Amino acid sequence: MEWLWKLDADILLFLQEYARMPVLNEILQFYTNLGNAGLIAILTCAVLLILPKTRSVGLAAAVSLFIEFLIVNVLLKNAVARIRPYEVIEGLECITELATDYSFPSGHTGSCFAVATVMFLKLPKRYGVPALFLAVLMAYSRLYVGVHYPTDVLAAFLIGVLVAVVVCRVISHWRMNLFLHKEQS
């Protein structure tokens, strides 16, 4: 596992050295902070729930977000207790507000992918594709500002997507059974 930790550190130091620039620093600091406390994901769910045409998508997104939160923020962060990269990687500078919780996995990334995946699966692609792009941007922003390891982001991506796919399938299965039950009545 030492090689994986070294790869994580090398990627973050590479981004710091070659990707950071003043204009991107401002943009990605702002964007990454939109994910604090799940703000962007919660607001997206709220908008989807408010609009009558997307209410069922909003429900699936909210359920996915809640399950992702339980897995990532309640269970895994506390069980793994991984220290933030800026605390242990020599020379890495964090360029945003320091986090107060553990690093693995990334809650910002997981929440954005949980909601974006539901949108991609349940809405027209003109909404789903930009949602996925914004989730990727959130994941990148967490690396860029120096608060997560690449493996934190990768794990959160997988969890967010998996939870959303399972929730969408369960809801579809439940609706199909409800429809068949009504048809037989």
d(CA 21, CA 11): 16
Give the model's pLDDT for residue 107.
97
Give the model's pLDDT for residue 1.
83
Identify the H or E element spanning 36.
Answer: none
d(CA 53, CA 135): 23
| Interval 81-119: pLDDT, tens | 999 999 999 999 999 999 999 999 999 999 999 999 999
Residue pair 42/61 in contact (Cβ under 8 Å)? The answer is no
What domains appear along the chain, each with residue ranges and CATH number? 2-184 (1.20.144)
Give the model's pLDDT for residue 178.
58
Which of 51, 48, 69, 65 is CA-nearest to residue 128? 48
d(CA 35, CA 50): 21
